Structure 1
Amino acid sequence: MNLIEEHNKRYEFFREITGEAMLVHRKYKSGLLESAYEAALKYLLEQKERKVERQVFLPIYWDNVQLDQTYRMDLVVDDQIIVELKAVSHIETAHRKQLWNYMNLTHMPYGMLINFGSDRLYSEWYQRCSNGTIEKIRLL
């Protein structure tokens, strides 16, 4: 197997999840609330025998003290991929930063940002590196 094939195989799960998201987008188009896309994508991923949790609470800490604030991650797939869904006209930097912060707070290795809000489904894929930086992943 050459380097390109190895790279693409390593990140095949991104393509799988995006494929299921495309099915949801084809069926529902744009214009629904994020929660509708979330429920449908969760269902389809579970049919593919993926473990999927929806609206996962993420507590916030100051040092070792849990604060009176939590966030909710849209989907967590296989205990390692945060899937942040949007239903907006276009993705902005604030949407990316939200996902990156979730990845850093949880130390989960992978994140996806998927937007159902335009005529075409849009997705971005990220990996959290060992030094804490977030790197965009592309299949070759």
Structure 2
Amino acid sequence: MRTLNQWGHQFSGSVFPGIGTALKRRRTLNDQYVDSRYPLSELTAKALAAAHEVHRVLGPGFEEIIYQRALAKEFPAHGVECAREVWIDVMYKGEKVGRKRVDFVVGDDSGDVMIEIKAKAALEAVDFVQALSYLRASGYKVGLLINFGGKRLEVRRLVN
């Protein structure tokens, strides 16, 4: 049903035309982050939908471990298999020189994605460099750096 607002413009049920439908669609579709330009886009879309749900429910202000535990519970609800705190070997000229632990490796039939979690006011350059180094050391092609500490979820997609 179309009605007129105070300026005589038609709209359909929302004060801002189109917004109500867009918000409903955004809440119901897991594939809002699917972008065929990016590798493993469908898998990262599911992982990001899970992360957004965790941030929506918990909000900012908790330690990383709280978000990790919540994500471990949310990933399966979005059809994402996950392994938490996965060790990766750091190699130097073909020899192992150390080990590091990444927060998550999620996967499906299309491949695996490394996920590094932060819980700080804003991501810094050092966080990006660390996540990229972990991605290169791990051998995975795609990674996500996700920060739960801000008012809005902050995400960086990494490609190796």
Q: Normalised by the size of structure 2, how large is the TM-score?
A: 0.69
1:115 and 2:147 aligned: yes
Identity %: 24
- Structure 1: distance between partners of 2:36 and 2:100: 35
Give the aligned partner of residue 124 of structure 2.
92
Distance 2:74 2:128 in 1: 24
What's the RMSD between the two structures over aligned residues? Answer: 2.2
- Distance change (3 Å), C-alpha of 1:9 and 1:92: closer
Cα separation, partners in 2 of 1:94 and 1:8, compared to 1, 3 Å: closer
Q: 2: distance between equivalents of 1:84 and 1:10?
A: 16
- Partners of 2:140 and 2:48 lie apart in 1 by 19
> Do the aligned partners of residues 10 and 105 (structure 1) sit closer, same or farther apart at CA in structure 2, a change above 3 Å counting?
closer
Structure 1 or 2, whichever has the larger Rg, is 2
- Other-structure match for 1:138: none
What one-letter code is carried by the residue in structure 1 that aligns with 2:136?
N
Partner SS, residue 52 of structure 2: helix
Uncovered stretches (5+) of structure 1, i.e. residues with no partner: 129-140
- What is aligned with 1:7? 37
Q: Taking structure 1 as the reference length, what is the TM-score of the superposition?
A: 0.78
2:112 matched residue in structure 1: 80
Closer/same/farther in 2, CA of residues 63 and 113 from structure 1, 3 Å limit: same
Unaligned runs of 5+ in 2: 1-34
1:24-43 correspondence runs (5 A): 24-43=54-73
2:7 matched to which residue of 1?
none
- SS of 2:145's equivalent in the other structure is strand
